[in-house]
Each structure stands twice: as C-alpha cells, then as structure tokens.
C-alpha cells in the first residue's frame, strides 16, 4: 500500500491524490506509519462505513493527518444482517 501511495504521489507535480482501498490495507498503512506492529485484533480496527483516512507525504515518508467518518449517522442502516 505504501508503494502504491508513493507511486500515486509521484504521478503528479503537485496537488492531492485519491487512493480508494478496502479496510485492511488502510489499517495496515495506519499502523505502519504510526510505528505500530502490524499484528492486531481485527475487531478493534478504526475503519467504519465510508471512512476517510488522510496521509501526507513529508520528505521520504507518509504521516497520517486526519481520519473522518462522513457517514457515521448512517452506520445503523449499514448493518449486515446476513442472507434472508
């Protein structure tokens, strides 16, 4: 994921780049840039419906600068109740 983010950042002269991913790659990137072990309890991930994690390139590394949950109010509507 960090390699993909580096490639994406290098593909533009300036400005922002949007990378869309599933929960696990973003969570592993969060843990890596925070200097935390990659091994973790998946039930404790901080990633909800439509969450947005923002990283910024600083020198030769990425730093997490924000986390938002724009659909937080819709969380109860997104509960998976299984097949009916």
- Give the domain ranges of the chain: 2-68
Each residue's pLDDT tens digit, 31-57: 899 999 888 887 777 766 678 899 999
pLDDT tens figures, 52-74? 899 999 988 999 999 998 877 77
Given a cut of 70, is residue 78 above it in pLDDT?
A: no
Q: Which residues make Cβ contacts (< 8 Å) with residue 8, sequence separation at least 6? A: 17, 19
């Amino acid at each position: 994921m960090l390699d993909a983010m580096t490639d994406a950042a290098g593909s533009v002269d300036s400005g922002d780049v949007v990378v869309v991913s599933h929960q696990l790659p973003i969570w592993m990137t969060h843990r890596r840039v925070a200097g935390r072990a990659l091994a973790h309890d998946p039930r404790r991930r901080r990633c909800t419906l439509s969450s947005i994690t923002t990283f910024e390139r600083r020198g030769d590394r990425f730093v997490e600068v924000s986390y938002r949950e724009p659909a937080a109010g819709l969380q109860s509507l997104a509960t998976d109740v299984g097949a009916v």
